[in-house]
Amino acid sequence: MKNFLYILLSSALLFAQEKKKDTFLFEFEQDSLEINVGEEKQITIRLLNEDGDLAQNPFYVFGQRKALSASPRISDSTGLAVVTVKAFKPGRAYLRTRTITVNRNDRISDRLLINVPYPPLDRIVFDKMPKKLYAGTVTSFEVEVFDKANLSRPDADVVLKSSKNSVASFDKFMNLEAKKPGKITVTASVDGVKKSFKVNIVKNPTQKITINSNVAEIRTGDVLNMNAKALDKRGKVLNDVPLNYSYTGQADYGTFGLPTSGLITDDGRFVAETAGMYTLSASSAGFSSQKRVKVVPRNVEKKIKLIGHGLITDVFTSDLWVWPGIGKHEGKDFAVTGTWGANGEAYFWDVTDPTDMKIIDTVTVDARTVNDVKISEDGKVGVITREGASNRKNGFVILDVSDPYDVKIAAAYNDDMTGGVHNAFIYENHVYAVNNGRKYDIINIDDPYNPRRVGVYELDTPGHSIHDVWIENGIAYSSNWADGIVAVDIGAKKFDEADRSSLQYNPLLAKAGQGSPSNPVKLAELEDPTGRNHAAFPFLSKSTGKFYVIGGDEIFPWGIGALKDEPSNPRGGYHFLNFSDPENPVEEAIYQVPEAGSHNMWIVGDTLITGNYQGGLRIVDISGELLGDIYKQGREIGVYLSLHENGRIPNSPMVWGAQPYKEYIFFADMNSGLYCIVIENEEKTEAP
């Protein structure tokens, strides 16, 4: 019996080895192929047996979609194919082959490297080409290289050279140091492509530097404009002489006097992050001027007092909205909260007495997540969004909330909204519903029981995607991941010079006036190179008149713990994008809590209120000019960590978003429900 089994096993192994030996081999006419974009080349491929003859077995050939095509895709029955290969984009690609066999284990694959060279470089573009520079100054240059396909080629290794290094020379970071008067030619070159311009280095007439600021003391976060000038020997201001700015100092904290921390810009604006004594310096051509500034703590911290808490323990809580009652409920206050990954419920609360917030009604719709909840300004209509509906139609549900104790479903709207509505906004009897993550649909709800679509706004960028939309004064501010912030006129009032309200400082309003819900018109935009743009909120600074749109990130580098009943660890920040010049918006400041996430925000006056997920609720002073790292500047007014031992995930703050309402701030925590806090006037005292 033993012998029989041995023979059987040996035979099987022998058979397997024979099988392995009987393999085919692909023979490509060349070891690799080089094809230019748009070019076609032919290559012969043979499938050979172990004797080197055609294997008499077909195989197929394929490239990669949008990169490489192959035709025909199948060889003839002998194992021979003459394949035409066409390249569509530069880089390395592979032409792949695979035998066609009955037994899939016998299949043999191979591949041929196809090198698709990048198109030849075409031109170099300087960021500036000055005709004159002053001796004793350093000027930074940037260049951009384009290829024949007009694609930017940041990988190109451009070298900048001066024709006379004794007069002016470049360092390896493209900074040109002008040493003495003379004429030079600056040349940028890469792979045979060159761009040159002539520069006249002239004697620097600077004889003095002045700093024209009388400010002796500032708080952390305050921006000091040094207003430095270069003067000639007659005291005439030299506006075209570049100045260098720097600071030194000693911070107040630490026994040994730790270094100060701050930011000084190329145009001489300074902001400090730590209190201490700073020396600011402006210099040019060997001349310099200094100014000493005392920086004191901003001291804006206040006590935060918990007024009430409506604990939700069995499901995750999503967004919230708070509004005043109407009709028979006038004088009362109500809130609605959504639920996440649960049973499609929205909870309605009576929050008239925020120390005793009670759920007074529950609306259940066919959904797993009610991500967003909104109430109309007149307090009559509510909208809740649906995701994970059992019929996959999703969309949103319109509610009659006139009586929050007895909320009625007016209509479910899901036409063309199968992918889910993640967020929505109600503005002047229209619902703006972020649809399928691609666009926002605009639905007229004059009659909430008979909603009808009147408009759609969708970007036209490749692979565009949208997350949220917020509307103020007839302008819709959408957040669009990599496409960033987009401001759209959906019925903003035309600029009226008779209107002297501060609202008119919003430069987007000056551009508006053509849009309507059925004709949305783009006003301005700013891409987000990180692709994290998740929320947008307009901010017209009361103290400076500057107009920002604040873009909030969302990123979970390590996934979400909620699905595993564990705390999450997201990251992100809030970016202050200055849209005062709508044609050239620029990021000027960021509020980013280290080791915490960012989610939704609200601005009231010059105060930012943020939901920072595991970082809790944050209240931030954003008055005055904004520059640099706001978190480090001591601008936080208060922090509330909303953890609860009986939370959905116990003892784990996860603040979704907040809304200031009357003297309170209401906010929703994913893990523990609805909170109400108040900022006390009393300043926070340091612990002994």
Partner 1 sequence: MKSYFFQFILIITLPVQIFAKDYYVYCAAESEDEVALIRFDGKKAYVEKRIQVGVWPVEIEGPHGITISPEGDYWYLSMAHGTPYGHLYKYKTGTDEMVDRVELGLFPASMEISNSTGLLYVVNFNLHGSHEEKSTVSIVDPEEMIEIDRVETGVMPHGSRLLNSGMKHYSVAMMSGELFEIDAMRMAVSRKILTKPANNKNQSMHNMSHKNMKKMDHSHMMSNSDKKGMAEMGHKMPPEKPTWVYPHPNDKFVYVVNNGTDNVVEVDVDNWKITRTFNTDKGPYNCEVSDDGKFLVVTYKTAGKLGIWNLKTGKEVAKFKNSRKITHGVVISPDSRYAFVSVEGIGKEPGAVEVFDLVKLKSVALAEIGKQAGGIAFWKMDN
Length of the chain: 688
Among 452, 494, 542, 662, contact with partner 1 (rule: CB under 8 A): 452
73 touching partner 1, by CB under 8 A: yes
The span from the CA of 30 to the CA of 466, in Å, is 47
556 touching partner 1, by CB under 8 A: yes
92 touching partner 1, by CB under 8 A: no
182 touching partner 1, by CB under 8 A: no
Nearer CB in complex with partner 1: 290/436: 436
User: Quick one: which of 540, 665, 547, 546 has its CA closest to 600?
Assistant: 665
Are 619 and 210 in contact by the 8 Å Cβ rule? The answer is no
Among 39, 267, 356, 415, contact with partner 1 (rule: CB under 8 A): 415
Among 115, 418, 429, 530, contact with partner 1 (rule: CB under 8 A): 418
Give the chain's end-to-end CA distance (angstroms, integer).
88
419 touching partner 1, by CB under 8 A: yes
- Minimum distance from residue 87 beta carbon to partner 1 (Å): 15
Tokens of 84: 């035409």
Tell how far CA 31 is from the center of its chain. Answer: 44
Among 292, 358, 494, 564, contact with partner 1 (rule: CB under 8 A): 564
C-alpha dihedral, 507 to 513 to 515 to 516, nearest 10°: 120
Q: How many CB atoms lie within 10 A of CB 174?
A: 17
Stretch that binds partner 1, among 39-47, 105-113, 266-274, 468-476 (CB under 8 A): 105-113
Q: x/- binding map, residues 319-358, to partner 1, per CB under 8 A? A: ---------------------xxxxx--------------
According to CB under 8 A, which residues from 509 to 538 bind partner 1? Answer: none
Among 20, 51, 52, 104, contact with partner 1 (rule: CB under 8 A): 104
SS3 96: strand
Among 14, 25, 74, 129, contact with partner 1 (rule: CB under 8 A): 74
- Minimum distance from residue 154 beta carbon to partner 1 (Å): 23
451 touching partner 1, by CB under 8 A: yes
The identity of residue 310, as a single letter, is G
Among 137, 281, 369, 652, contact with partner 1 (rule: CB under 8 A): 369
- Minimum distance from residue 64 beta carbon to partner 1 (Å): 5
Tokens of 326: 């109407």
Q: How is the beta sheet containing 345-350 ordered, strand by strand?
A: 316-324, 333-340, 345-350, 358-364
The span from the CA of 376 to the CA of 321, in Å, is 10
Peptide bond into 72 cis (omega under 30): yes
Q: x/- binding map, residues 33-72, to partner 1, per CB under 8 A? A: ---------------------------x-xxxx-------
436 touching partner 1, by CB under 8 A: yes
Q: What angle do CA 129, 132, 134 make, to 5 degrees?
A: 125
SS3 472: strand
The span from the CA of 480 to the CA of 331, in Å, is 38
The pair phi, psi for residue 105, each rounded to 5°, is -70, -20
- Minimum distance from residue 364 beta carbon to partner 1 (Å): 7
Tell how far CA 463 is from the center of its chain. Answer: 15
484 touching partner 1, by CB under 8 A: no
Among 57, 414, 612, 633, contact with partner 1 (rule: CB under 8 A): 414
Give how many residues touch partner 1 by CB under 8 A: 61
609 touching partner 1, by CB under 8 A: no
The span from the CA of 650 to the CA of 464, in Å, is 38
User: Quick one: which of 276, 262, 300 has its CA closest to 635?
Assistant: 300
According to CB under 8 A, which residues from 376 to 395 bind partner 1? Answer: 387-388, 390-393
Task: Please name every residue paired with 272 in a beta bridge, in sequence order, or none if there are none.
Answer: 262
Stretch that binds partner 1, among 142-150, 194-202, 433-441, 619-627 (CB under 8 A): 433-441
Among 12, 14, 306, 563, contact with partner 1 (rule: CB under 8 A): 563
Nearer CB in complex with partner 1: 2/233: 2
286-to-206, 289, 526 alpha-carbon distances in Å? 9, 10, 40
293 touching partner 1, by CB under 8 A: no
453 touching partner 1, by CB under 8 A: yes
- Minimum distance from residue 350 beta carbon to partner 1 (Å): 25
Among 110, 350, 372, 554, contact with partner 1 (rule: CB under 8 A): 554
Tokens of 88: 């569509």
Stretch that binds partner 1, among 19-27, 44-52, 97-105, 126-134 (CB under 8 A): 97-105
Nearer CB in complex with partner 1: 149/560: 560
E-only strand ranges, 499-613: 521-526, 533-540, 547-553, 574-578, 586-591, 601-604, 607-611
Among 41, 86, 89, 96, contact with partner 1 (rule: CB under 8 A): 96
Tokens of 70: 């192959």
- Minimum distance from residue 71 beta carbon to partner 1 (Å): 10
Are 477 and 538 in contact by the 8 Å Cβ rule? The answer is yes
439-to-379, 421, 435, 444, 460 alpha-carbon distances in Å? 27, 10, 5, 16, 10
Nearer CB in complex with partner 1: 100/143: 100
Are 583 and 524 in contact by the 8 Å Cβ rule? The answer is yes
567 touching partner 1, by CB under 8 A: no
Applying CB under 8 A, the residues found at the interface with partner 1 are 60, 62-65, 73-74, 96, 98, 100, 104-105, 107, 109, 315, 340-344, 364, 366-369, 387-388, 390-393, 411-416, 418-420, 422, 435-438, 451-453, 463-465, 481, 554, 556, 559-560, 562-564, 568, 570
